[in-house]
């Protein structure tokens, strides 16, 4: 008798949050799914009609979409893996810092506090062939945002610079969970510095790494502002979110644009599930209770 009542109380306490989420998340998602089944272009309101899965067919047979998927994956994979390595290094520095711990943590966090658009503009100006300071650095003097590979490089560097602190912060929280006793015991048993890191620290940090990877991957798959500011999608750097933006807000094609949005949603959810599945086996039971 006690448990059902507690359950009911639990549901009641959750209800406002659930209702709010339904209103601001579930409704728009469902509305987008519905719109994606219509031919609906704001410029031709009279031509609105139900077309089934035709919009999805159009998107999935379009070279533009697949190029955008490739660009998004390139940016996501390179930036997130670089961020993981650099973030771990920064987390270790922050964890071990004996003097000026606060100063170190604040300094590391500065890029994360910068607005993304401002960061993207700063990097764009730095690499401008006429006015950027990078041109004074000898071999770096070239039109960076004019060639595909270097444009990708700038976008990825901006992303790494901007979000490594976030990664470091999440990993720092994980490092704090590693019990000192375990490390000392390993040391007594004769484990080297590298062995202690890879055999003790990393496995114990897995939940934190999972969370960090999950957040960053989901975030990176939705990359928009950096590319919008730096290349506007030119030179093959167009990510999927920019395809959605252009179809919805420039072409005003709500049906087709909603199909793109739904496909992005599927892509992001798929990535999240894959990460949880991939790393889930190594998780301690408690973290998923």
**Residues interacting with another protein, by CB under 8 A?**
41-45, 58-59, 62, 64-65, 129-130, 142-143, 145-147, 232-235, 243, 246-247, 249-253, 256, 260
CB closer to another protein out of 135 and 197:
135
CB of 248 to another protein, least distance (A): 10
CB closer to another protein out of 150 and 211:
150
Question: What secondary structure letter does DSSP report for 197?
Answer: I
Instruction: With H, G, I as helix, E, B as strand and everything else as coil, classify residue 131.
Output: coil
CB of 104 to another protein, least distance (A): 38
CB of 122 to another protein, least distance (A): 17
Integer Cα distance of 289 and 285 in angstroms = 7
CB closer to another protein out of 127 and 166:
127
Number of Cβ within a 10 Å radius of residue 263: 20
CA nearest to 209, candidates 107, 111, 87? 87
- Tokens 């490739």 belong to 70
Q: What DSSP string runs through 164-190?
A: HHHHHHHHHHHHHHS-HHHHHHHHHTT
CB of 73 to another protein, least distance (A): 17
CB closer to another protein out of 70 and 235:
235
């Amino acid at each position: 008798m006690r448990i059902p009542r507690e359950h009911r109380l639990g549901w009641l306490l959750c209800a406002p949050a659930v209702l709010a989420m339904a209103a601001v998340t579930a409704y728009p998602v469902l509305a987008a799914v519905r719109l994606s089944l219509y031919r609906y272009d704001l410029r031709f309101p009279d031509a609105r009609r139900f077309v089934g899965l035709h919009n999805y067919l159009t998107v999935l047979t379009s070279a533009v979409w697949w190029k955008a998927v490739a660009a998004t994956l390139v940016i996501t994979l390179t930036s997130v893996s670089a961020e993981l390595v650099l973030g771990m290094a920064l987390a270790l520095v922050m964890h071990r810092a004996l003097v000026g711990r606060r100063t170190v943590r604040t300094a590391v966090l500065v890029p994360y506090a910068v607005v993304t658009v401002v960061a993207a503009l700063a990097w764009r100006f730095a690499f401008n062939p006429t006015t950027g300071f990078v041109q004074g650095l000898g071999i770096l003097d070239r039109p960076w945002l004019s060639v595909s590979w270097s444009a990708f490089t700038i976008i990825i560097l901006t992303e790494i610079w901007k979000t490594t602190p976030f990664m470091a912060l999440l990993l720092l929280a994980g490092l704090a969970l590693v019990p000192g006793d375990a490390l000392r015991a390993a040391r007594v048993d004769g484990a080297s510095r590298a062995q202690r890191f890879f055999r003790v620290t990393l496995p114990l940090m897995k939940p934190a790494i999972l969370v960090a990877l999950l957040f960053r991957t989901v975030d990176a798959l939705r990359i928009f502002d950096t590319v919008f500011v730096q290349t506007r999608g030119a030179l093959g750097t167009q990510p999927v979110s920019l395809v959605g933006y252009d179809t919805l807000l420039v072409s005003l094609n709500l049906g087709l644009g909603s199909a793109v949005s739904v496909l992005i949603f599927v892509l992001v959810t798929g990535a999240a599930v894959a990460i949880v599945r991939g790393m889930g086996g190594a998780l301690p039971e408690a973290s998923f209770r």
